[in-house]
């Protein structure tokens, strides 16, 4: 009878030892995963800290580019107008030369 109790006690002890070992392995895996997630979270946080500043700088740069584009658009319109006047002038000259040769 004592042998049966000692055997059951030994089987229970080995089962509990195995369960403790598996729990220990799981806890170390969870700790490693938690550490990795914390590292990723802190890296993301560091990356996102500069986002407002970077966004503000990008908006300022876009605003400056829009201003420069509008200034260039005005200059392009002036050049188009000037070229149109020159084209009209040269068409008028060629017509007057044709009329002069026809006489």
If DSSP codes are grouped into helix, strand and coil, which group holds residue 1? coil
Quote the pLDDT of residue 13: 94
Digit-coded pLDDT (tens) for 4-41: 999 999 999 999 999 999 999 999 999 999 999 999 99
Digit-coded pLDDT (tens) for 59-83: 999 999 999 999 999 999 999 999 9
Helices (DSSP H) in the chain: which residue ranges?
2-49, 51-102
- Across 84-93, b (16+ Cβ under 10 Å) vs e yields eeeeeeeeee
Digit-coded pLDDT (tens) for 80-89: 999 999 999 8
């Amino acid at each position: 009878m004592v042998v049966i109790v000692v055997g059951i006690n030994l089987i229970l002890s080995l089962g509990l030892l195995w369960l403790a070992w598996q729990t220990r392995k799981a806890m170390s895996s969870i700790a490693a995963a938690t550490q990795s997630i914390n590292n990723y979270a802190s890296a993301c946080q560091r990356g996102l800290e500069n986002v407002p500043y970077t966004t503000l700088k990008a908006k300022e740069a876009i605003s400056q580019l829009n201003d420069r584009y509008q200034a260039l658009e005005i200059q392009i319109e002036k050049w188009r107008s000037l070229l149109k006047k020159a084209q009209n002038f040269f068409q008028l000259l060629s017509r007057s030369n044709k009329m002069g040769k026809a006489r």
